[in-house]
Chain A
Amino acid sequence: MGTGCVTTKPVIEARGLDLTFQTSDGPIQALKGVDLAIEKGEFVSFIGPSGCGKTTFLRVIAGLEQATGGSVTVNGMTPDEARRERAYGYVFQAAGLYPWRTIAGNIKLPLEIMGYPRSERDARVEKVLELVDLDGFGKKYPWQLSGGMQQRASIARALAFDADIMLMDEPFGALDEIVRDHLNEQLLELWARTEKTIGFVTHSIPEAVYLSTKIVVMSPRPGRISDVIDSPLPRDRPLGIRDTPEFLAVAHRVREGLRAGHAYD
């Protein structure tokens, strides 16, 4: 599934991407002239002020929104083809677990839909629950879990099937700083273990710098990319790395990029 790409080609590539929403108040240009290439195994964060089109861009990649200009390819296919090939797992801002299913049942949902054999489902559930550090919680219902645990369950749900891309839209936006740190560490560990390509939307500069190999800074009206920063940080990152000068330098550059985006208004 979705692995037919040539490794030298970017996994995700956008060229001159435009997207204009037709609303009752007239057209809204959400994305304008977006160029971006994401290589296999990269961890790319999208950061920018509210309304700059981060979610929209992620949705275009996922084939949930149609570009009105330019092109996007995912694994060399159109986003819609990639979606039909089940090339990616998408994690929304809200966990969105089905309240009538247990955690294990929720994780099985994509497996049932994609027709994984019954015998394989339980093994996969076990595996991903362990990946997100939720072993033993399979039989619980969502309301019995904290918000952070629910969000981890929704990540497990996106990991359960063999998609090599993960798209995550502010998955930790609603969580407190400590839980967030912990989840960030886990996410990095998980990324290292699974070698997935990750697109990650966030509002937090430290989070973006800590997680990413590439940081995409966006600015609003119309939404476009104002800076792309390839992180000089090593892939192996203890939490303490956030106090190093290299880290602070990258964070500084992201902040400058965001400020420039605002000043443009």
Chain B
Amino acid sequence: MRSVIPILTMVAAIVVIWYGAAIGMNAQWARDQAARAGTTLSTSELIADTWSQERPKLPAPHQIVAELWKTTAMMKPTSKRSLVFHGWITLSATMLGFVFGTGAGILLAIGIVHSRSMDMGVMPWAIASQTIPIIAIAPMIIVVLNSIGITGLVPKAIISAYLSFFPVVVGMVKGLRSPDAMQLDLLRTYNASKPQALWKLRFPASLPYLFASLKVGVAASLVGTIVGELPTGAIRGLGARMLTGSYYGQTIQIWSALFAAAILAAGLVGIIGLVQRLTLRRMGAV
């Protein structure tokens, strides 16, 4: 329980700074409005106004919470304005991409660990692939795939997979190589085959590395999906929510979509953490 206190302190500090920043950033607009209407605002009126504008530069936390509440709990999940609806669109593409990215990453890592030529031939490309800014190629991927008739979930999932496979490759290569020479020699004395060594030793030994990679990978997957929703005039998904929000100056909508994405990411990472704990417990840790 003691760990709760520092967390709450941090959250409280952020909220205080946030409300302060909202006053600073939104005050000009409030004063301009007042001037146009020929009135002046007392300090308390000014503050109250900066925290309740319809299109503030920086919405106050309670405005975002209210918007989140309105667009989730107070709305049918099937409504086009429901964040649950858009969140689900983003989540499904994320999961699809994550599963494929992780699968590809694990397979690639197995190949790299077992074949020197793959290690030297593939790894540089895997690294190079991550130096390309995703923002630059996401629209190209979407447009190209759209032109050959692939739309909707799959193009976004591809971008999502593209971002998540790399941490998995790096983590798994390290994890699969983590058994020391003695452990590998022991298996040689049993005349174990390579698949046996992989399955009995390398794979279990790599699990802690895998879970660390999965946490990075799932967050990257989500970012990939949202980026895939941004540039294409998509009308569904959290990325689309952010984009339409910015077209119409709906800052509260942008921020609530942003928060929804953050909550989603935290949830996904949390689920992986839970699976990790259960798995490692079954494997005798603790």
Contact = CB atoms under 8 A, between A and B. Distances in A.
Interface of A: 62-64, 83-84, 86, 88-90, 92, 94, 96, 98-102, 109-110, 112-114, 141-143
A102 B284 contact: yes
Main secondary structure of the interface of A (DSSP, over half): loop
B146 interface: no
Given A98-B204, A102-B284, A113 B190 contact: yes
A83 B200 contact: no
B204 A64 contact: no
B284 A100 contact: yes
Interface of B: 182-183, 185-192, 196, 200-201, 204, 207, 283-285
Q: 6 smallest A-B Cβ distances: which pairs? A: A100-B283, A141-B284, A90-B189, A113-B192, A113-B190, A110-B190
Given A96-B183, A100-B204, A83 B283 contact: no
Given A92-B182, A113-B196, A99 B189 contact: no
Contact of B185 (A92, A100, A109): A92
A114 B190 CA distance: 7
A88 B186 CA distance: 11
Contacts of B191: 83-84, 86, 113-114
A137 to B, nearest CB: 14
Contact of B200 (A102, A109, A141): A109
B190 A64 contact: no
B86 to A, nearest CB: 41
B186 A92 contact: yes
B190 A62 contact: no
Nearest to B284: A141
Given A86-B190, A92-B185, A114-B190, 7 more contacts: A86-B191, A90-B185, A96-B182, A112-B200, A113-B196, A141-B284, A142-B284
A113 B284 contact: no
B195 to A, nearest CB: 11
Contacts of B207: 100
A59 B144 CA distance: 58
B157 to A, nearest CB: 33
B78 to A, nearest CB: 45
A261 to B, nearest CB: 27
B204 A83 contact: no
A113 B182 contact: no
Contacts of B196: 113
Contacts of B183: 96
A88 B185 CA distance: 13
B192 A99 contact: no
Contact of A89 (B187, B189, B201, B284): B189
Contacts of B186: 90, 92, 96
Contacts of A113: 187, 190-192, 196, 200
